[in-house]
Amino acid sequence: MEHILPWDLTVIPSRFFLFSGAAWYTVQITVLGVLLGMILGLIAAFGRLSSHRGLSGAARFYIFTIRGTPLLVQLFIIYYGLTSIVTIAPIPSAVIALGIHNGAYIGEVFRGAIQSIDYGQMEAARSLGMTHRKAMRRIVLPQAFKRAVPSLGNQLIIALKDSSLASAIAVPELMLKGRQMGSSSFMYMEMFIIVGIWYLMMTSVLSYAVHRVETRLKVSDRD
């Protein structure tokens, strides 16, 4: 084998599970980041849909700046840039940056989903005497969430891969582990193949899960 390829791929199985701790970090910062992103996204969506000028302007500004700048810049601003005011540890920094970053994208997903719900739904709810808020919560949002599931799943997969940037601020996740293992063994190719397989496994599980959720939600729908 060594004579054919310059790498020793046979080490992959034996080293593979040395990465499980790092993978767990990846999962955690991704999940927490996306949860934060959903909250921020919901706020951003309502902001943009609001008739209040200040609110919709603020939401627009948030989405514009975040989507127009790299996640790495946002990460560094939170981890390095803010040090003169607060020091935030690497893991919380990563979660916050991922949350703010994904919030902008998820906000647009939610906004699109809410706007895609036929206005007749809101009118029917209002004609029963529901307040706008209740009509949103009971009638529009449940349908909008359903419609947002595929895009949210997609965003979750992107976030999982984007979380690798947290290696740049020393979060001990998969990517950093790969770099450390590579430099200590000089087997960069082997180690990054392991890292790649880990990501691929996780994204595959996610796609499958999203697909399952989608089909389950389809039971009642289609009108």
- Cβ 42 to other proteins, closest distance in Å? 18
Considering the complex, state which of residue 67 and residue 138 has its C-beta at the smaller distance from other proteins.
Answer: 138
Following DSSP, what letter does each residue of 148-201 receive, concatenated?
Answer: HHHHHHHHHHHHHHHGGGGGGGT--SHHHHHHHHHHHHT-HHHHHHHHHHHHHH
Residue 6 as a binder of other proteins (CB under 8 A): the answer is: no
Site mask for other proteins (CB under 8 A), range 130-169, x = bound: xx--x---xx--xx--x-----------------------
Considering the complex, state which of residue 2 and residue 221 has its C-beta at the smaller distance from other proteins.
Answer: 221
Residue 223 as a binder of other proteins (CB under 8 A): the answer is: yes
Query: Which among 190, 199, 195 is positioned nearest to 11, based on CA atoms?
Result: 190
Q: How far apart are CA 81 and CA 51, in angstroms?
A: 34
- Cβ 166 to other proteins, closest distance in Å? 37
Q: How far apart are CA 114 and CA 67, in angstroms?
A: 20
Residues 78-137 that bind other proteins (CB under 8 A): 118, 120-121, 123-131, 134
Residue 220 as a binder of other proteins (CB under 8 A): the answer is: yes
Query: Which among 209, 106, 81, 214 is positioned nearest to 159, based on CA atoms?
Result: 106
Alpha helices in 50-140 (DSSP H): 53-67, 71-79, 90-116, 119-127, 132-135
Residue with tokens 């969506």: 45
Residue 20 as a binder of other proteins (CB under 8 A): the answer is: no
Considering the complex, state which of residue 8 and residue 123 has its C-beta at the smaller distance from other proteins.
Answer: 123
Considering the complex, state which of residue 60 and residue 218 has its C-beta at the smaller distance from other proteins.
Answer: 218
Q: Which residues bind other proteins (CB under 8 A)?
A: 118, 120-121, 123-131, 134, 138-139, 142-143, 146, 219-223
